[in-house]
Amino acid sequence: MPQWLALCLVIVMVGAIVYAIMVINHRRLGADDDPSGTPDVIEYMTMMIGVIYAIVLGLAIAGVWEARSAAQDTVQTEAQALHEVSERAQVFAVPEREKIRSHIGSYVTHVVHTEWPAMANHGRLTDRGDELFSRLRTAVLRSEPRTELQGQAYAPMADQVGIADEARTHRAEAAGSTMPGTVWFGLIAGAVVSVGMIFALQIRRTPRELAVAGLFCALFAFLLFLIWDMDAPFGRGLAATADAFLNHFPASTR
């Protein structure tokens, strides 16, 4: 099911639940109940809960967005480092150069076509990816410089392999969910409490009140869905992409 359709269904369901609760609450209280008798302290508490929950939601959105941006930067760093290795390898003899570029191509192909779905579906990297990167590192480190130009290229190549390795480690750390379960509990509980305070104010079934309550709940549903969508930096709709690999190695990612 497309994620936009899932979001629409969630919002519709939340609205239907809110309306049903209003109908039940209205029948329970009766037509002679006076909502103006709600104590002022409840209105004050509702306002404070809404403000605090809005701050928590904002911090959660900022956190998952920052994690997603960091994951995308990590992918860019890894792809750029491998591209530098491939370009610097041109000063070596043909057999060594082709061997290094062949290992880079095999690794990039595996990352884009195999490892990326594994991160999205299982939240982890693959053992095959580790093996291919190890072979790439070995090929670079065993390239023996025979000229001064090769010697000048060798050390930066080894450094770039180290940078790519570090970026791969960061990518593995970011492959799963970034929000702890306790935070999710707090977000959902806060939404329930905030919506529950609407009914504490004895909201009626007038079109204006229904519209406000529905929009209020739909906004919460949308923001929670947005946080969930960005919670896995490589796994959902707003996930980090493999465009950096596609741009630097178009031949290996077809």
pLDDT above 90: residue 99: yes
In-domain check, residue 38: no
pLDDT (0 to 100) of residue 46: 76
In-domain check, residue 157: yes
pLDDT tens track for 180-202: 888 888 888 888 888 777 766 65
**What's the Cα-to-Cα distance from 102 to each of 15, 65, 135, 140, rounded to whole Å?**
56, 35, 10, 11
Please, what's the largest Cα pairwise distance for the chain?
96
Of 11-20, 109-118, 221-230, 240-249, minimum mean pLDDT range: 11-20
pLDDT above 70: residue 128: yes
Average pLDDT across the chain, whole number = 83
In-domain check, residue 254: no
In-domain check, residue 216: yes
Q: Read off the pLDDT band of 11 (50, 70, 90).
A: low
pLDDT tens track for 134-170: 999 999 998 888 888 888 889 999 999 999 999 999 9
DSSP 77-92: HHHHHHHHHHHHGGGS
Q: Per the structure, how many domains does the chain have? A: 1
Crossing angle of helices 207-231 and 40-88, rounded to 10°: 30
pLDDT tens track for 62-96: 989 998 899 999 999 999 999 999 999 999 988 89
Dist CA 20 CA 113 (whole Å): 47
In-domain check, residue 39: no
In-domain check, residue 36: no
State the average pLDDT over residues 92-110.
92
Dist CA 115 CA 49 (whole Å): 43
What percent of the chain is predicted at pLDDT more than 90?
30
Q: Return the higher-pLDDT residue of 165 and 36.
A: 165
pLDDT (0 to 100) of residue 218: 80
Could you tell me the residue range of the domain that residue 19 belongs to?
Answer: 3-26+44-248
In-domain check, residue 137: yes
In-domain check, residue 111: yes
pLDDT (0 to 100) of residue 139: 92
The answer to whether residues 167 and 78 touch, using CB atoms and an 8 Å cutoff, is yes
What are 106's two structure tokens? Answer: 């095999």
Q: Return left, alpha or beta for 17; rule: phi > 0 is left, psi -120 to 50 is alpha, else beta.
A: alpha
